[in-house]
Structure 1
Amino acid sequence: MDLSVMFFGADVGESGHARAYEDVLALAREADRLGFHAVWTPERHFQQVGQVFPSPPVLGAALAVATERIGIRAGSVVLPLHHPLRVAEDWAVVDNLSHGRVGLSVATGWHSADFVVRPEAYEDRRARLLRDVPVLRRAWAGEEVELPDGTGALTSVRTQPRPVRERLPLWLTTSGSPATWETAGRLRAGVLGAVVGQTREELADKIARYRAACAGAPEQGGTDAHGRVTLMTHAYVGADEAEVVRLVAAPLKAYLRSYVRQTSANRTADRRTAELSGEQTALMAEFAFRRYLRWGSLLGSPESCRKMLADLCELGVDEVACFIDFGLGRDTVMAGLRRLAALRKDV
């Protein structure tokens, strides 16, 4: 099982956005030095949560030249917001800059505000993603793609530059729906999900569904018949449990509260979420934090995190993407990364 790092930070605070990018680059360089498998960055727009991540390929290009070995991953590209040929072009640049280290997870998107840049794509965003994945794969592989040009006439084009690798490492992002896990399998794509929000038994069932769908799917320029399961989880490995609670509680609960506020701002969200009081939101954050400590996160001592990694490995997880930028300072995150790296040999 591989260990990667993932960025998805919330409010940058008084330090500002420039310092946030410096932190991302510094932490990615350290993860590269420590031997982590990949670094994942998201796509977010107009929100507090993830506010420094509106353009994964731009940041990916910076990460490509700042690191030497670590994989450069988008987690995720909101595919309905973009033309698939532009996605192929942008990430082929990053693939060349990184000498073939690119991988993409694509998502339908969910927040209505994100789609102010392409409102016509919101309602049928799932259908658009399923339509565009084959186009993206063909363009990446160097095939000609026939589409209407500015006059409406069909024109065959081939994207440039050519990527280093002809086969695009591709994942499908899921918020937890078993149907999305099965869709990823049928696409012969990896699946990118989260550990939290489900029981161990539910996770085992989704992995089994995914493996079966992948095994039964035809070859289509994607993963092999086994597939690849990548799961995100909050991560900070402390010296002991008491240190972790002391350091993590306040920033993680603040992050969780900001996430609830973002969810409530979605036009299609359950109105009950929008009507939560500040006290109710704080109680939800406290409940989620305590749940994370019990199962589903890498928040704990080296021994407890070693056990969690072993459990995920037993479930059949191929890669754990460790979410590290949820409010801790750079030096604290660095120390946690080094302790986590020490556990890599066990998984």
Structure 2
Amino acid sequence: MDFSLFYFDGDGSVAQPNKYRLLLESAKFADQNGFSAVWIPERHFHAFGGLYPNPSVVNAALAMATEKVQLRAGSVVLPLHHPVRIAEEWAVVDNLSNGRVAIAFASGWTMDEFILSRDLHTHRKQTMWRGVKALQQLWKGEGVEYADASGRAVEAKILPKPIQPELPIWITCQSPETFIEAGKMGANVLTSLLGGTLEEVAPKIKLYRQYLEKSGHDPDSKKVTLMIHTFLGEETETVKEKVRQPFCNYLKTHYDLLENLAKGMGLDVSLKNFSEDDLDSLLLFGVEGFMKGRSLIGTPETCVPFIAKLEEIGINEVACLIDFVQDFDTVMESLPYLQKLHQVC
């Protein structure tokens, strides 16, 4: 099992120094302790998560602070950008890092983000698949034709030439259809348990492996990466006490995760109608279940059986989301325990 670090949160709304301290120091830890990668998201218009509007810019900084760890986007929302611009930016980072970049692509989520796009939100899936194909061609040095403002066809090629001859690609997947398409094209997969249980994800992974083989790709050569909330320590109850309130605060800022939590508890409700007290009661009741079945929260020893379950269904990398706990010292003190789990798995 490979281990990587994943970043998703962080308050970008306050003007203060050292906003990226946790990112930089934990990325250095990953680099020095055999982790496979760090993942930087693309998030727009969120106070929490507002540290990461552009993963290529952040990874350019990490290229200067690390030496070995792969620098990944988790994910680039492809319909919000021109493929040439994405290829150019990441070719720069590939050179700065001496060939260590990789990109997970996503089709996008909220309507608000699509103020940045020339394409309709309803067409986002088709736009993503077209863009991935174009990016693969551009990365290899091939020309791709686009129309300028007058309608004239222009063949675009990118500079600087990337270090890696091919761009390592992941597709962010939740639906069975996306797993199938990722298998057909031979891409790696990035998924999560935010929208379902391990039992619900397992058949999608099986489907993905089947379509890899049907399409002439070696199923064993591709990665299924699971993004998962992670916090480890010396003793389980102490870990839960440290995590419970930060986890509740984190979920309060992500209504989509709260809705999934409510559905998992058998509640078909609109959380926008909940009072603060109702939300607090829901969270205190539901977070315990979330921590058990959808996270790596506990000690290295208690998490080993869950890692074994992940391996059984074909997951071969865990991307450990660590910044839902916002305290720098608390997170950094937990990382040696994660390293211990890494060593035994």
> By the TM > 0.5 criterion, same fold?
yes
Q: What is the distance in 2 between the residues matched to 1:64 and 1:235? A: 24
Shift of 1:331: 1.7
283-292 or 131-140: which moved more?
Answer: 283-292
Amino acid of the structure 2 residue aligned with 1:254 = N
Q: Does 1:86 align with 2:81?
A: no
Describe the shift of the 1:109–1:84 C-alpha distance in structure 2 as closer, same or farther (beyond 3 A): same
Map 1:263-274 to 2 at 5 A: 272-274=270-272
Aligned to 1:267: none
Q: Does 1:187 align with 2:185?
A: yes
Residue 171 of structure 1 aligns to a residue whose secondary structure is strand
Shift of 1:164: 0.7
Q: What is the distance in 2 between the residues matched to 1:261 and 1:344? A: 30
Aligned to 1:4: 4
Q: What is the distance in 2 between the residues matched to 1:286 and 1:34? A: 35
Map 1:292-307 to 2 at 5 A: 292-307=290-305
| Aligned with 1:248 (options 239, 243, 249) | 243
* Number of residue pairs the alignment of both structures matches: 336
Shift of 1:12: 5.7
8 Å Cα contact 1:80-1:128 kept in structure 2: yes
Q: What is the distance in 2 between the residues matched to 1:111 and 1:279? A: 27
Q: What is the distance in 2 between the residues matched to 1:77 and 1:67? A: 21
Amino acid of the structure 1 residue aligned with 2:70 = G
Q: Which runs of 5+ in 2 are unaligned?
A: 260-267
8 Å Cα contact 2:251-2:257 kept in structure 1: no
Q: What is the distance in 1 between the residues matched to 2:139 and 2:258? A: 34
Aligned to 1:32: 31
Aligned to 1:132: 131
Q: What is the distance in 2 between the residues matched to 1:199 and 1:262? A: 13
8 Å Cα contact 2:232-2:296 kept in structure 1: yes
Q: What is the distance in 1 between the residues matched to 2:12 and 2:313? A: 35
Aligned to 1:315: 313
Q: What is the distance in 2 between the residues matched to 1:317 and 1:230? A: 6
1:53-106 deviations in whole A, cap 9, x for unaligned? 001100010011110110100000000000111111000101111111101000
8 Å Cα contact 1:231-1:320 kept in structure 2: yes
Aligned to 2:50: 51
Map 1:127-206 to 2 at 5 A: 127-174=126-173, 176-206=174-204
Q: What is the distance in 2 between the residues matched to 1:20 and 1:6? A: 16
TM-score normalized with structure 1 length: 0.90
8 Å Cα contact 1:292-1:299 kept in structure 2: no
Describe the shift of the 1:346–1:67 C-alpha distance in structure 2 as closer, same or farther (beyond 3 A): same
Q: What is the distance in 2 between the residues matched to 1:124 and 1:82? A: 14
Q: What is the distance in 2 between the residues matched to 1:278 and 1:322? A: 29
Describe the shift of the 1:131–1:87 C-alpha distance in structure 2 as closer, same or farther (beyond 3 A): same
8 Å Cα contact 1:260-1:281 kept in structure 2: no
Describe the shift of the 1:285–1:203 C-alpha distance in structure 2 as closer, same or farther (beyond 3 A): same
8 Å Cα contact 2:13-2:50 kept in structure 1: no
Q: What is the distance in 2 between the residues matched to 1:183 and 1:24? A: 32
Describe the shift of the 1:82–1:44 C-alpha distance in structure 2 as closer, same or farther (beyond 3 A): same
Q: CA RMSD in A?
A: 2.2
Shift of 1:24: 0.9
8 Å Cα contact 1:48-1:262 kept in structure 2: no
Residue 124 of structure 1 aligns to a residue whose secondary structure is helix
Which 4+ stretches in 1 moved above 4 angstroms? Answer: 261-264
TM-score normalized with structure 2 length: 0.91
8 Å Cα contact 1:103-1:170 kept in structure 2: yes
Identity of aligned residues (%): 40
8 Å Cα contact 2:139-2:166 kept in structure 1: yes
8 Å Cα contact 2:31-2:68 kept in structure 1: yes
Q: What is the distance in 2 between the residues matched to 1:18 and 1:103? A: 29
Shift of 1:327: 2.4
8 Å Cα contact 2:12-2:48 kept in structure 1: no
Amino acid of the structure 2 residue aligned with 1:6 = F
Aligned to 1:278: 276
8 Å Cα contact 2:230-2:321 kept in structure 1: yes
Q: Which runs of 5+ in 1 are unaligned?
A: 265-269
Shift of 1:166: 1.2
Shift of 1:324: 0.3
Q: Does 1:258 align with 2:253?
A: yes
Q: What is the distance in 1 between the residues matched to 2:301 and 2:6? A: 22
